[in-house]
Structure 1
């Protein structure tokens, strides 16, 4: 047994101390509809706080085991809640109790400062413990993370950099800069390049053994494809998953799903591919596989990838294979806003895509935002009218509606002048989609964007509630 251990920290998410009445009412209807679609109860609250399998841990744990390191999950997901309720000292003490040689974490933007505080707490209690951080936020801002006290920063995909780091530490060496995707304070820290997908990613099976049986979750995410060839200006995912789509072999995916089902028995699967219907042949094979697995599932794609004649064959197969819901990115129906978001779709395509899905008895969720570059009160109101029109017409069952936030890694964040927006340098914990924005457009200050969002939630909730009353027996 290896004497070296690595603790992977699943950080808590930070919620608002007191959600607005509009949010509480919206989520009550949201989860009621979701429960109807999947014939099960879902917990109430913000959608992003619903427990799911920490896939990043299972992938990196497999790397560690292969190099004779002992991996361990330290799961703080149950601490999710208002920041004032999270005792960082207590969490650091729990990490120390696992006596790890190395600690790894992958924060989002909104809980990055929590990760910094936790790393410093761990170093105070156990100065010789190596603390590594990765993920999309730090991949865009690695030098800031080095200044914040992390020993190593992983830029981009983490499998290969972690393998290099663990190999070097096992040999008694502490690697410096020069290996792509791995940064350490000191000379050359600006020269490391971001790694694309680890070459063995699809051949190396996820280590589900690092997670306890009965891990609490309401759905499990899987990926049949990693990567997205589109360049939406508000999306930072390409920083994390890359632009080139990588297809998983369906037989490997079958083994992964079989092991996942045996160990966790998830009630719902989410195919997290950014554009599930991008590659028809591969998508068709995955649909067949999901039908064999027999777990209800949902997926996401783009409107323009549902309106081609050849897309009908995919949609026709989905319901019998267990698909209950398809998520479609809308964002806006204003042509200027769509152009600024670099969506490369039209409002007509969105309407047609929703119609296609409903023709094949699929429920539809559409993603929307307010406060994007070029947004005005007129365009925000018009988009809301269109959104509600789709709900009224029964072409959309659910909507995700949030405030446009220029997360690090997005084109908007990198070049706000190009999009004619102003970004305020607020603390990272305030970079959220459900509070007054860090960004203002030419016509809309952040406070007004927030008011428009709350008004939109009220209207959406009213429509969903009316629809439920009409459909009640």
Structure 2
């Protein structure tokens, strides 16, 4: 059996309510979801497995037709995100036009949230819910034996026109048992990031699940139960990546620093193996301290991403962040003193937020002096607590995400939180926020003194020119 896993194009990706620069300069990340499945299949089956990352390889739909014709797989697995579902549908139609017998399997956040709507998309044969490694393997082993499909947890499919949902598969509690993502099946040299000091880069997950309850969180498919890989297993994967020529890592755990001792163990393991790497992590301001920062610095952690979201205490309560303004100030100062770069995330247009509070957030961002800020217009994502609250209170007039899931059409515009602002007003404010932060002479001078290479200078200059030219 031949299996092809596809990261679909993003030609029709929903850009939401944010300036295009946020998406245009993000670079390409490896599609870890399908790479985990590929690695699992390679280890536990004898099937032929290939991966096509149409985004990193810049494969057009015409070229993708040629790829499908050349490979003629028996099963195609496709990553399905709500923001790229229109492109997913185009890929399905393309495949079925070439060979209708090819089985199409979708997985990812979109199918987890909207299984019934997604399985009714013409051409879809199966959905894999939640963590897909084991479910996908069991599916392809039994795909020609329909009588056994009902015994496979985590599947959705149609039988005689009726939707069959076999129920959720228990979360994997032993992440060390999973093979590493099959990066060797991708064009590793093509992955990059605006903020990385060198290329290629890779993203990496060292844990799954998050115990926190932020009301805007849009990652329900990973669960709330925090499960972590061992330090040895994490650094083994890093070492494998180094052999592939990758020395820059973006750790994409929701919060890397939940287990303090594990962080220390990872740092010690990196140092003991003398790995010449750089790495970024995501952390909360209230579970990091000077001693941990020193450990991270010694292991060459180059940047920490902090989700601040707002400079107003009341907005932080609405978002259920569980942090204080003063703790943000303290942690940012400690991180800078440790010699680690900082990226801060902020949102504007949150529930109950006024213009005065947005200006407080913009002023707070400048006061903190992070190396970079990522500012977005708050968008209520499907299945989040805030989205449910908006529907209940009538601020969101219709379940627009579900309607889009039922009928994905081009031109769809995700809603912002239209309580105190129109979309146009928020777009004007976010342009002001970016320009007021990034075009300050003091900021530009400080950034120039930190640039280490011509490549980094070119990336920063290109992004900087786009900020100067931003319009609402």
Q: TM-score, normalised by structure 2?
A: 0.83
Matched, 1:132 2:105: yes
Aligned to 1:6: 3
- The secondary structure found in structure 1 opposite 2:383 is coil
Alpha-carbon distance, 1:198 to partner: 3.1
Q: Deviations over 1:159-181 (max 9, x none)?
A: 12112201212x64465446332
The equivalences for 1:17-416 within 5 A come to: 46-48=24-26, 50-65=27-42, 66-78=44-56, 88=61, 90-149=63-122, 150-169=124-143, 172-173=145-146, 176-177=149-150, 179-186=152-159, 189=163, 191-198=165-172, 201-208=175-182, 210-212=184-186, 214-218=188-192, 219-237=201-219, 239-263=220-244, 265-291=245-271, 292-306=274-288, 311-391=289-369, 396-416=370-390
- The secondary structure found in structure 2 opposite 1:354 is helix
Partners of 1:420 and 1:442 within 8 A in 2: no
**Cα distance in structure 2, aligned partners of 1:21 and 1:6:** 36
Cα RMSD for the two superposed structures: 3.1
Moved more, 421-430 or 405-414: 421-430
- 1:312 to 1:418, Cα distance in 2 relative to 1, 3 A: farther
**Consecutive unaligned residues in structure 2, runs of 5 or more:** 193-200, 450-472
**Consecutive unaligned residues in structure 1, runs of 5 or more:** 28-44, 81-85
Aligned to 2:418: 441
Aligned to 2:460: none
- The secondary structure found in structure 1 opposite 2:158 is coil
Alpha-carbon distance, 1:288 to partner: 1.8
Aligned to 1:32: none
Partners of 1:436 and 1:447 within 8 A in 2: no
Alpha-carbon distance, 1:375 to partner: 1.9
Partners of 2:4 and 2:77 within 8 A in 1: yes
Alpha-carbon distance, 1:12 to partner: 2.5
Partners of 1:13 and 1:111 within 8 A in 2: yes
- 1:318 to 1:87, Cα distance in 2 relative to 1, 3 A: closer
**Cα distance in structure 2, aligned partners of 1:51 and 1:119:** 23
- 1:290 to 1:51, Cα distance in 2 relative to 1, 3 A: farther
Aligned to 2:442: 466
Q: TM-score, normalised by structure 1?
A: 0.82
Alpha-carbon distance, 1:342 to partner: 1.5
